[in-house]
Amino acid sequence: MTIAVVIIGVFTGLAAILLIGLPLLRAQSDEMREVELDEVELEEIEREKVFAALSDIEYDYRMNKLSEEDYQELKARLAKKAVEFIKEEEEAEATTGPNLEDEIEAEVAAELGKPDPEPSGPAAKAGGYCLHCGAKLANSDQRFCQSCGGKLA
């Protein structure tokens, strides 16, 4: 019976050490991950900090937590950094060629350029116009006119 108590005590002690030690080890690995950030990620973090600080000083000024002169000084300094970030981003976009938005626009334009499939349905039989009021129909599958409510076929 005493051997079982010793084994249980050892396992309980090891479990306690692991539960206490794991968060400490994770804190070190988080610090290591932070150090491993590349230059682009660090610049993005700095950019976010600048824009957040601009927002914060604006809020603090409106809540009368900052004096006019402090607000103007901080705003000028941070606005200068923000403009630098925006210019760098614009220069990077100009040198990288077409971006994802341009590619999407090109695909949409190509898709829109394809001829539509042959229309069918009551509206197609009516030639795309209401037989009762002459209104242009929204789509070829309509059974009733959106203007006058007349039945198409």
102-147, pLDDT tens digit by residue? 778 878 888 887 654 444 455 445 467 777 777 887 777 777 787 8
At residue 71, the pLDDT reads 92
Higher pLDDT, 15 or 95: 15
Average pLDDT, stretch 63-82? Answer: 91
pLDDT grade for 101, boundaries at 50, 70 and 90: confident
**At how many degrees (to 10) do helices 39-62 and 68-96 cross?**
150
38-58 tens-digit pLDDT: 777 778 888 899 999 999 999
Average pLDDT, stretch 67-76? Answer: 92
Query: What's the N-to-C CA distance of the chain in angstroms?
Result: 92
At residue 58, the pLDDT reads 92
pTM equals 0.41
The C-alpha torsion from 27 through 31 and 32 to 34, rounded to 10°, is: 140
CA distance 149 to 153: 12
